[in-house]
């Protein structure tokens, strides 16, 4: 979980990505970063308008469909998730407060 009051800075324009689950439900996420780990790329997203000060980070593996399209795949491997999140936390240690 993250806490960050500065992340909603009015000068900051968020890049919003809408994802659709297997049931056709759509949810908006804010793009935060792309992290490379062991030759794969992972997208880091935050849910939009969850109504709380703390955010759950969503980490998905990026799969390239073609030169202009990519898809995102959930990760079942807890070790990969933890390692990617650790890279993200280190990269943004001065911008977010992390709760364990």
Instruction: Quote the tokens at residue 1.
Output: 């979980």
- The tens digit of pLDDT for each residue in 33-66 reads 999 999 999 999 988 875 555 568 899 999 987 7
What does the pLDDT read at residue 78? 96
Supply the range of the domain harboring residue 89: 2-98
Counted domains in the chain: 1
- The tens digit of pLDDT for each residue in 76-89 reads 999 999 999 999 99
What does the pLDDT read at residue 6? 45
Do residues 48 and 16 touch, judged by C-beta distance below 8 A?
A: yes
26 versus 8: which is more confidently predicted?
Answer: 26
pLDDT more than 70, % of the chain: 76
What does the pLDDT read at residue 98? 61
- CA nearest 44: which of 85, 73, 97, 5? 85
Do residues 17 and 31 touch, judged by C-beta distance below 8 A?
A: yes
């Amino acid at each position: 979980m993250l806490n960050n009051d500065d992340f909603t800075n009015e000068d900051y324009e968020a890049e919003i990505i809408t994802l659709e689950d297997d049931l056709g439900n759509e949810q908006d996420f804010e793009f935060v970063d792309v992290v490379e780990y062991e030759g794969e790329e992972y997208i880091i997203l935050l849910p939009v308008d969850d109504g709380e000060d703390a955010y759950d980070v969503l980490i998905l593996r990026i799969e390239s469909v073609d030169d202009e399209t990519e898809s995102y795949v959930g990760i079942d491997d807890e070790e990969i998730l933890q390692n990617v999140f650790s890279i993200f936390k280190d990269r943004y240690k001065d911008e977010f407060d992390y709760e364990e």
